[in-house]
Amino acid sequence: MPQKFQPVYFFPGSEIGKKRDYINALKASLTKQTGEEPELHRLYPYDTDISSIVSLLRNGSLFSSRRLVILGDAHVLKAADIKILKGYLNAPSPDTVLIITTDENPGSREYPRSLADALPSDAVKIFWEMFERDKRGWVMGFLRKKELKADKAAIDLLLDITEGTTDALRETCELLAFSIESGGVISAEDIDRVLEHGKEETVYSLFDRFCRRDLGGVLESYRKMTYSEPGSADRILSMLADPVARLRDFAILLNRGLSPESSAKELQIRGGKRAVHAYTEGARNFKVTELAEAVMGIIDLEAWLRTAPREIRAAKTELWLCSVISHKSSLAVSPAG
């Protein structure tokens, strides 16, 4: 870690685990330099407006000599928000380090290119997802440390059904290590048995049920996620927006004659065969017009959620999910209704 810090960093990319480790190392370096932990703030554009965030950046810390502000989900920033941030870059606070993050990769439709271009190259670090060959080696190495082995079919299945980030792979391998005695050889049957039993709800499992047009499953998944993280209704919807938009585009490409595999490659859909299967099922269960209306509905509902009372956000989102999945037409529901 450098001892001279940039006032603003931008960390895009889908490799969340390595990104988190890098931020933690940067925080530790700040602590070592000053002899005390920096005052830490974690913010999101849909929870706090950018003008308020810039005011926080400019005001001195009351509790520490340095302040570390992490602004997540930069892909939802509007042009006006980025303009305000660029204004801050002209005269950043000397006592504050701002880290802006997004899970989007360069080249994706939501990637905030204008923000990246406004920063010096050494302030931007992209955290790419591992290559397939690296994922296999990572899994084998992790299991070896736990005194476990896995046959080829088991590793193939594990990589196929797990998101390819170190966070997702670590969580899966930890669960396997907890469930299988040391010295054992993990089979594909073990992967099915252990992962299905210990699976936690994520936006990916919610989207998988969305593609199956399984209303009960979607609501169950959504409620489990909001129960484990109260107040996350707006963030879940924001995370769901991109895969639903990709599903719309995936369905369009299928209608044009592309194969599911070619469509997934064209749209840079991650997740292997399992993701291709989910998107193909979604394109079969929804009309393109329905998906287009769903995308517009998410945009409208996200705007409403930014100012809505927190106690009714989850209920309103559930009503919207019901309208999208159970109705065959007129999917767009006015958030104000």
pLDDT value of position 165: 80
pLDDT in tens, 200-215: 667 778 898 899 999 9
Name the pLDDT band for 3 (thresholds 50, 70, 90). low
Q: What are phi and psi of 69, to 5 degrees?
A: -115, 125
pLDDT value of position 125: 96
Which position has the token pair 């965030």?
53
pLDDT value of position 231: 63
Contacts of 71 (CB under 8 A, 6+ apart): 43, 44, 45, 53, 98, 99, 100, 101
pLDDT in tens, 251-268: 999 999 999 999 998 998
pLDDT value of position 182: 85
CB 293 within 8 A of CB 323: no
Distance CA 203, CA 69 (A): 25
Q: Where does 8-123 sit in CATH, by number?
A: 3.40.50.300
pLDDT value of position 199: 59
Distance CA 308, CA 180 (A): 46
Name the pLDDT band for 196 (thresholds 50, 70, 90). low
Mean pLDDT of the chain: 86
pLDDT in tens, 6-55: 999 999 998 888 899 999 999 999 999 888 999 999 999 988 899 999 99
CB 147 within 8 A of CB 183: yes
Nearest to 99 by CA among 67, 121, 129, 77: 67
Name the pLDDT band for 331 (thresholds 50, 70, 90). very low
pLDDT value of position 69: 95
- Per-residue CA distances from 238 to 69, 138, 213 (Å): 21, 30, 19
Q: How many CA atoms lie within 13 A of 52 on its CB side?
A: 9
Query: Of 49-53, 64-68, 175-179, which has the strongest mean pLDDT?
Result: 49-53
The percent of residues in the chain predicted with pLDDT above 90, rounded, is 49
- Arithmetic mean of pLDDT, 289-313: 88
pLDDT value of position 319: 92
Nearest to 299 by CA among 242, 233, 225: 242
Q: Where does 203-326 sit in CATH, by number?
A: 1.20.272.10
Q: Where are the alpha helices (DSSP H) in 187-328?
A: 188-198, 203-211, 215-228, 233-255, 260-266, 272-285, 288-305, 310-326
Q: Give the residue extent of every domain in the chain.
A: 8-123, 132-198, 203-326
What fold, for 132-198?
Helicase, Ruva Protein; domain 3 (1.10.8)
Nearest to 71 by CA among 120, 144, 8: 8
CB 285 within 8 A of CB 212: yes
The answer, as to whether pTM is greater than 0.75, is no
pLDDT value of position 330: 39
Q: Is 96's pLDDT higher than 90?
A: yes
